[in-house]
Structure 1
Amino acid sequence: MKIVEIREKTVPISSSIRNAYIDFSKMTLSLVAVITDVMRDGKPVVGYGFNSNGRYGQGTLMRERFIPRLLEAEPDSLVDETGSNLDPHRVWDTMLTNEKPGGHGERSVAIGTIDMAIWDTVAKIEGKPLFQLLAERYGIGKPNRKVFVYAAGGYYYPGQDYKKLQDEMRSYIDRGYTVVKKKIGGASLEEDLRRIDAIMEVLQDGQKLCVDANGRFDLETAIAYAKALSQYDLFWYEEPGDPLDFELQSVLRSFYTNPMATGENLFSMQDARNLIRYGGMRPDRDWLQFDCALSYGLVEYLRTLDMLTEHGWSASRCIPHGGHQMSLNIAAGLGLGGNESYPDLFQPYGGFPDGVRVENGFVTLPDLPGIGFEGKADLYREMAVLSA
């Protein structure tokens, strides 16, 4: 078998929302299709991938470096021992040919997007859901198809008031979520606390709030927020400072004893390891948000999970950023703690296959081959156009 063609399309996912650092008015992502010569039901097997929101589309890097390397490689160098399927690890090694170590920025997003499409392809050729394939190859053999999800929202936008914020959070609760998230750091501390209080008014017993600063704060501000947030029973206090400021994260633990979360903007196993070594993260309560679609893909994520095990962390402390079905499959197949969800934003790329409902904070993954994109009609319409 061989890869016949790899296509990329940069598409807009623009919105008027903003967090503490960026607005999304010009946000894009890359949609990728990997077309093979393997036939199923009279059609070639095609794997799809896309990068998570918050990082722009990476079509130029893909077209100039990573796609040509795969298409120029000997087909036998990209397949597994059976010769009937792709080997994601060999594909990954080929994409990284002639790349220096370090510099884990936009390159990791480009490779992570293609890697998603490769895994989708591999699972489809096997005729299995990706979560089942992962459980068999790297897990305990049996996946846990029931995955915790939380609703990410609470962005700043023009005309937002407390009632609209409350209505947004009620809508998530009404759809079955038990944990919701709100952005902080885009207003004053006093205003953010008023917004938090407004949300707390609509939450009931067993329902919790996360807050996310998107790396906005210096140490002094992060501590001020930590002290103020300590009055609430939050699910977590997320990414207070720059993602690479491990000292800030480490110092903050002395001022905030409740759970914290970070990691969505660390794009390699090495950076994740430095967070664990130097960031003061606590494996009994804190959460790790590494997103495979932004950090070189699942091949690298498997290395990150191995590293966490070596440092005494459980995969169950990982709840990836991104809100996409790839991480849902990883969570079900490898025992992660859950996944982010965007009930209304960044569509059609966020969300679940049609018919999947949130029940008491959990979703149950359906039995669909690959990542399951074909089960989400609005998303698959865009993918099918790319591969036609």
Structure 2
Amino acid sequence: MKIINIETIPLVAELKNPIWDAQHYISKRQALIIRVHTDQGLTGVGESASFGGPIETTKAVIDKELKSYFIGKDPFDVERLWDEVYKSTIQHGRRGIIIAALSGIDIALWDLIGKATNKPVYKILGGYRDEVEAYASSGFYREGRDIPQLAEMMKAYVDEGFKTVKMKVGGMKPKEDLKRVQAVREALGDEVDLAVDANSNWDLPTALWMAKQLEPLNIKWIEEPLMADDVIGTAKLASSTIIPIAGYEQDVTRYAFMELIQNQAVYYLQPDAIWAGGISECKKIAALALANHLAIMPHVFSSGVCLAANLHFIASTANAYLLELDRNENPLRDELIHHSLTHENGQIKIPDIPGLGIELDEEVIKKYRIS
């Protein structure tokens, strides 16, 4: 079997009700879907992250540069192909858009391998669990949403069956954010796990103060408290609080996560399969974490393809912990994959279907595809 083409499909869906976190105003959801076609008629599906920039730039990297590395090659040689691209692009790659672009192709290759062998991806990778616990990721800032409404919304996720929920902080003055967290904790009660995500918008003094205030509220983790580049600051925070630190979704490849591990900066490592280097690289990051008694908890905030890729990664990984299930409006997740990955009481059963186990709705692709 040989690869004959790589197709890049940019999708954009405008949101009815924009939301924002501490750093980003989100008025639309976008996803760059990857299809790898073979001479035997099998097609693998992946997604390349396009966070922080126009989706067209990631598409151009694949179309103009990376595609040539894969045409005519055997998709089963996924490890060698990844390594070849990484080494050949190292002068302008190593991090950022090259790795994000490569991630989607890597995921599509694993989907292809699963389809060719008639096995789900997580089984090929070394299946560890058939069901994954999800947490409700929400609590964004939104026009007209006051604190009582926020607390009511977060409580509704618990009523759906979620045992862990996460909310945004860092977008207001610390004392105002603290009031928001206190209200949510009161609404949830003491038995539900509550995490907070600052999206890298605190400085170290603010993070130290907030962590001290949050400790009595039994916070499960503090996510991305500082700039991702401030590894030493994050390590200082981690050593000063009983609340575990999670991060950093912005980091990619084993080398960035190794720096976090070596500095004892985080407990929960958060690579994203569509961003950090694909499933192949995420498995290496997980192995580093396992050797250092740390947990993997992927970042998941994009289309249904992203959800499926990270679900299979978690299901195949001993030290993976929780699937982030974004509860915000997202047609590129809910419509695109026919609701094929749904939770019941906060648990997602992995479909016993070859590859990633999802089918893309062609009408939805037509609806949201941009030229």
Normalised-by-shorter TM-score class: 0.7 to 0.9
SS at match of 1:31: strand
Distance 1:95 1:322, change over 3 A: same
**RMSD of aligned Cα (Å):** 2.5
1:320 aligns with 298
Q: Distance in 1 between matches of 2:78 and 2:135?
A: 29
Corresponding position: 1:48 with 2:45: yes
Map 1:1-388 → 2, pairs under 5 A: 1-15=1-15, 16-25=18-27, 28-38=30-40, 44-52=41-49, 54-56=51-53, 57=55, 58-71=58-71, 75=72, 78-79=73-74, 86-96=76-86, 98-100=88-90, 103-135=94-126, 142-281=127-266, 286-310=267-291, 312-314=292-294, 317-323=295-301, 324-335=307-318, 336-349=320-333, 354=339, 357-374=342-359, 381-382=364-365
Displacement after TM superposition at 1:353 (Å): 6.6
Displacement after TM superposition at 1:205 (Å): 4.5
2:48·2:274 contact (CA, 8 Å) conserved in 1? Answer: yes
- TM-score with structure 1 setting the length: 0.84
Q: Which runs of 5+ in 2 are unaligned?
A: 302-306
Q: Partner letter of residue 125 of structure 1?
A: A
2:304 aligns with none
1:70·1:94 contact (CA, 8 Å) conserved in 2? Answer: no
Q: Distance in 2 between matches of 1:356 and 1:305?
A: 23
Deviations 1:282-339 (A, max 9, x none): xxxx2111112101112222222232344x225xx11100151111111112221121
- TM-score with structure 2 setting the length: 0.88
Deviates further, 89-98 or 156-165: 89-98
1:70·1:95 contact (CA, 8 Å) conserved in 2? Answer: no
Distance 1:298 1:379, change over 3 A: farther
Deviates further, 357-366 or 322-331: 357-366
Distance 1:53 1:165, change over 3 A: farther
Q: Which runs of 5+ in 1 are unaligned?
A: 39-43, 80-84, 136-141
Distance 1:134 1:107, change over 3 A: same
Deviations 1:64-118 (A, max 9, x none): 11112222xxx3xx32xxxxx5221122134335212664111111111111111
Distance 1:383 1:296, change over 3 A: farther
1:41 aligns with none
Q: Distance in 1 between matches of 2:315 and 2:368?
A: 29
Residue-pair matches, total:
356
2:13·2:29 contact (CA, 8 Å) conserved in 1? Answer: yes
1:7·1:33 contact (CA, 8 Å) conserved in 2? Answer: yes
What stretches of structure 1 move > 4 A for 4+ residues in a row?
350-353, 377-381, 383-386
1:2·1:36 contact (CA, 8 Å) conserved in 2? Answer: yes
| Percentage of identical aligned residues | 28
1:353·1:372 contact (CA, 8 Å) conserved in 2? Answer: no
Deviations 1:217-254 (A, max 9, x none): 11111112112112210111111001121111111124
1:343·1:350 contact (CA, 8 Å) conserved in 2? Answer: no
Q: Distance in 2 between matches of 1:128 and 1:240?
A: 39
SS at match of 2:165: strand
SS at match of 2:365: helix
1:150·1:177 contact (CA, 8 Å) conserved in 2? Answer: yes
Deviations 1:124-150 (A, max 9, x none): 111111111111xxxxxx431111211
Deviations 1:182-232 (A, max 9, x none): 110101112111211221232145312110001111111111211211221
Deviates further, 255-264 or 265-274: 255-264
SS at match of 1:211: strand
Q: Distance in 1 between matches of 2:333 and 2:49?
A: 9
SS at match of 2:187: coil
